Structure 1
Amino acid sequence: MPRAKRSKQYRKLMEQFSMSFGFREPYQVIVDADFIAEANKCKMDVMRRLEDTLHGQVKPLITQCSMRHLYGRKSEPGVEAAIEQAKNHFERRRCGHHPDEYPEPLSALECLQSVVDPKSNGVNKHRYVCAVNDETVRAKLRQVAGTPLIFIRRSVMIMEPMATVSVKIRSKDEKSKFRAELKTPDNKRKREDDDSDEEDAQQAAPNAGEADKPRKKKKAHGPKEPNPLAVKKKKSKPNPNQKPDNQNSKGSKAEEAVTTESTTKAEVTKRKRLRKHKGKGASTNSEAAAASGDGDGEANAADTKNQET
């Protein structure tokens, strides 16, 4: 695997550990005797490599039993340098296995398991990162949930993927969070409804004496009615007693014509102007016609008599 791809994978893996199991910087890394001896054999800068692998600050630790194992291998080449590095740069983790009670140091498996999982309940209580080269020790620590494992192979520091136990716990936590997020909107809505009810009650309390105002009805949920402008109008049934529109229009036109004719005749048959003639008879006849005012016929008759005279 290329270095960049492996680095990206390790960063994501530590993010998962931090989100699911609460790992924080500086990461506490417990190192056993075999791991630090192999690192010095390969002339590896352990601190820098651990920081590059875990993508964060590191706090290296070593147990008392591991230090006793290093002192027992002092005759091997490169172990003295490992002892000096452990003494100067690694913090001592007191595992409780004192030399007075345990003349022989405990094995790496027993010592690390007592430190990582002291109650044997399968939980990495103090969130340790275990840097172990022994395969049997790593197989045992995989059963402890939330335990990142690091080892060295061919002068390359490798971080194991998340164990199945840790993956199950992480997936369970994610499902519970997802369900909680699904439930929160209903709870928020209920709270908002309760708050609105309380506010309505507070507003209604001072106005209790006033007349109750009609409240607007809430809109009913369901299918909406069609747009009245888009609906065709219903055709009205024909009434047998009612005349058709053509006949009504003809009758109305005839009535209009009669009224117009009557008005024109009235205008034409106006009273004509009477001529004044000299003489007594003409004056008397004209006065009689003006006094009587009976119409156009009488005026004409008076004119004919005057002409005869």
Structure 2
Amino acid sequence: MGKDKRARKYAVMKRMISMRDQRIKESERRKAKPKKKQADGTIVEREVPQYSSALFFKYNTQLGPPYHILIDTNFINFSIKNKIDVVQGMMDCLYAKCIPSITDCVMGEIEKLGQKFRIALRIAKDPRFERLPCTHTGIYADDCLVQRVTQHKCYIVATCDRDFRRRIRKVPGVPIMYISQHRYTIERMPDAFGAPKV
């Protein structure tokens, strides 16, 4: 068997019809956008997301005891399953006073779950929990918590939902509390007891 003598074609690209080709109708041709000419010495404006003044690099300076913790619906349910007292578990994790906060949306979600989750509702109505009123329409708790966390950087978010945790990680400077090995663990807060070791 002999060698293949044909040379390989290097970086072959699919042939495309140019927009000036006669086969393309006039209406289908894209209009080329005129390029903006920049005069020398003019400042070019770019849209850059503005970060909170509370952030010093990735460290959030607004976080400090007493910690305000926003609680999600499933966090209470998993705390009941793992037999953890919410307030005591948070204090054990953070070594400081914690003020658990519940928004109206989360409360509405727990009430919607019905009779099966009546213990979770009783825990949510605990007088130690701070109740935060919501001004927006609808009662989807995840959107409500993300909106509140992006506006105010003084909260820690407590949730066991993986998708929601992924969504919160995109917001800079917000620690996430979740349940791991039957106790509370916190992410993005290296000085806490339950923080995973790096």
> Normalising by the residue count of structure 1, what TM-score does the alignment of the two structures yield?
0.40
Structure holding more helix per residue: 1
C-alpha distance in 2, partners of 1:49/1:60? 11
Over residues 225-284 of structure 1, what are the superposed CA-to-partner deviations in whole Å (9 max), with x where a residue is unaligned? xxxxxxxxxxxxxxxxxxxxxxxxxxxxxxxxxxxxxxxxxxxxxxxxxxxxxxxxxxxx
Question: Is structure 2 residue 160 aligned with structure 1 residue 133?
Answer: yes
Letter in 1 for 2:163: T
* Secondary structure at the counterpart of residue 117 of structure 1: helix
**Residue in 2 aligned with 1:86?**
124
Q: Give matches, 1:18-97, under 5 Å.
A: 20-76=60-116, 79-88=117-126, 89-97=128-136
How much is the aligned-residue C-alpha RMSD, in angstroms? Answer: 2.3
Divergent runs of 4+, >6 A: none
C-alpha distance in 2, partners of 1:133/1:95? 22
> How far did 1:22 drift?
2.8
**Residue in 1 aligned with 2:185?**
158
C-alpha distance in 2, partners of 1:20/1:31? 19
Structure 1 regions of 5+ residues with no counterpart? 1-15, 119-124, 164-309
Letter in 2 for 1:129: I
Q: Give matches, 1:1-309, under 5 Å.
A: 20-76=60-116, 79-88=117-126, 89-97=128-136, 101-102=137-138, 105-106=139-140, 108-118=141-151, 125-161=152-188
In structure 2, relative to structure 1, the CA distance for the partners of 1:84 and 1:117 (3 Å cut) is same
* % same residue: 30
C-alpha distance in 2, partners of 1:24/1:158? 17
- Higher RCO structure (Cα 8 Å, ≥6 apart): 2
* Secondary structure at the counterpart of residue 140 of structure 1: helix
C-alpha distance in 2, partners of 1:132/1:38? 9
Larger Rg computed on CA atoms:
1
C-alpha distance in 1, partners of 2:68/2:189? 17
> Normalising by the residue count of structure 2, what TM-score does the alignment of the two structures yield?
0.61
Letter in 2 for 1:44: I
In structure 2, relative to structure 1, the CA distance for the partners of 1:162 and 1:47 (3 Å cut) is closer
* Secondary structure at the counterpart of residue 115 of structure 2: coil
**Residue in 2 aligned with 1:222?**
none
